[in-house]
């Protein structure tokens, strides 16, 4: 399939993709449809590993949701998110367990900050239960197909 064929292919609404190319031993460059780039590796350099990118995707998706819902009420003075988990190798192969996302969010004093603080638990819950595509995909156990050429 040529690049022209790829451009002319119709995809369902909501279609997303990234392309990855090996750039050196254990290092890859990922490019999105908008031209954004990042490198990933096996952990032998400062580059993120795929597992760290999974955690970053979960944290990032949830952070965007929570920020959009709370920042309408007040801009945060602190907004930090940490995602963690345990990588295991068992009878099901390599996978992550005990994934946890923790938010540390502070808002200014006053009525607007109070509204944002009141919204924060609901925003985190909404992200976890409905809004964050990344964590919902992981939680639902979506099958992944793979192919080769």
For 49-140, the fitting CATH number among 3.40.50.970, 3.40.50.720, 3.30.70.270, 3.30.300.20 is: 3.30.300.20
CA 137 to chain centre: 10
pLDDT tens-digit series, residues 23-36 = 999 999 999 999 99
Q: Hey, where are the domains in the chain? A: 1-48, 49-140
Q: How far apart are CA 42 and CA 121, in angstroms?
A: 36
pLDDT bracket for residue 9 (50, 70, 90): confident
Q: 125-130: which pairs have CB atoms within 8 A and are 24 or more residues apart?
A: 126/65, 126/69, 127/61, 127/62, 127/65, 127/66, 128/62, 128/101
pLDDT tens-digit series, residues 33-88 = 999 999 999 998 899 999 999 999 999 999 999 999 999 999 999 999 999 999 99
pTM: 0.89
Average pLDDT, the chain: 94
Contact 39, 30 (CB under 8 A): yes
């Amino acid at each position: 399939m040529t690049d022209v064929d790829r451009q002319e292919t119709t995809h369902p609404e909501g279609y997303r993709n990234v392309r990855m190319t090996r750039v050196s031993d254990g290092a890859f460059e990922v490019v999105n449809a908008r031209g954004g780039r990042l490198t990933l590796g096996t952990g032998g350099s400062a580059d993120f590993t795929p597992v760290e990118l999974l955690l970053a995707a979960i944290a990032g998706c949830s952070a965007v949701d929570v920020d959009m819902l709370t920042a309408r009420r007040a801009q945060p003075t602190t907004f930090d998110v940490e995602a963690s988990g345990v990588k295991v190798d068992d009878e099901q192969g390599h996978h992550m367990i005990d994934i946890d996302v923790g938010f540390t969010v502070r808002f200014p004093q006053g009525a607007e900050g109070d509204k944002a603080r009141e919204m924060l638990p609901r925003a985190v819950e909404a992200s976890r239960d409905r809004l964050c595509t990344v964590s919902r995909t992981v939680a639902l156990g979506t099958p992944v197909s793979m192919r080769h050429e």
